[in-house]
Structure 1
Amino acid sequence: PMKKNWHEILQSPEEVISNNDDRGAGAPGNIITLETGTALMGLTVNNADGADNTPRPENTVYDYDMRVLMALRRIMHFIDTYSRRLAVEHLITGPQLICLYAIAKDGPITLSELGKRVSLSMSTANGIVDRLENKHLILRERKDKDRRKVLLTATDAGIALASKAPLPLQDTLSLAISKLPELEQVSIALSLERIVEMMEEKT
């Protein structure tokens, strides 16, 4: 197929994605390979000379950087769809729901404890807690013995929302990844971390 540049893919990812998806999820050429020749996602390597002898359909795309970008675009689309669904159906954002889950599950907890549980800074967590409190989904309460210590507790409305809202993306992703062989889990994690490192080096 005709090679597209990064700008074209960013402008029209759906077209490129659909063209690339004609092969099917398990088709050869879907992902990287290991030196041992072990198939990671249907693609193998000849160990003797390093040559790839796997048969490929004619429309296989070899531009791995473009394929990575297309995959990231699809992930972004999924996150956007999930966020819009939360906003429309439950009037709450993804980060707010994550914090609400943590408070409903582990509360009463302090703001600093919440920040550690959901990997947010104190200032960001505080802003989210303010909005959850304004929605009457949580309460700020002071301990009797130490009035300086503020505890966060989910209200009945907050507990009800946490029980019916869709799972946070972290839980959905964790469940999906846990079903993969450990070799694939390690490969995905290391590859994404390396991509982030390389992009940060350019900024």
Structure 2
Amino acid sequence: MEQGTFTADGCSVEVYRLLPPGDEPGIVHAAVPAGASILELGSGAGRVTHALLELGHPVVAVDDSPEMLAHVRAGTVCSKIEDLRLGRLFDVVLLGSHLVNTASEADRAAFLATARAHVAPGGRVLVEWHPPEWFDSVRDGQGGRLGEVDVRLGQVVRDGDLLSAVVRYSAGTRWWSQAFTCRRLDLQALKAALTSADLAFERWHTEDRTWFSASPE
């Protein structure tokens, strides 16, 4: 049965506590200087945060869910990404979880503006996104196992550049579901969004081109 505490956008706090950190901390660590300070936008329950701390990075974790942040063992700020203005700069601003693929153009601009406002001169913004080819490959039933959690996509619907689906998480007898919609961006549209935020595309950080960095212009 579906159970537990959910955030305003439908994320299960329990699921995010169960999910392992995966490859993300290693990707971030390899892309930035040793000991670089990191502002993590949309940290959730600290799945990536805690691994970055163990790798020697001071992290400030930002999320708009106090229920998520209650499980984070780092400095935290409860705020919507688009509203955040801390008045301090970081070596690295992390925008993971494919947030840049939000369906809303205004939200994407606001997320990137927040990242730009907090990155130090000579620093970088690290972004995880769904590249265009991902949208072509998504199918009902697609998924896999992440730690003890089985993750499957269903109800996939395409509408122009938009893709909507429901992700179902299960662990033992427990299950949770979350609907989402994301927007396909080609490289030209991505770079235009970065330019509008006074950021410049820098380079890819994974072979599958799901992670890239941008620098302040």
TM tier, smaller: under 0.3
TM-score by length of 2: 0.26
Would you tell me which structure has more strand in proportion to its own residues?
Answer: 2
Indicate the structure whose relative CO is greater, using CA pairs within 8 Å and at least 6 residues apart. Answer: 2
Structure with greater Cα Rg: 1
Where is the helix percentage greater, Structure 1 or Structure 2? 1
TM-score by length of 1: 0.28
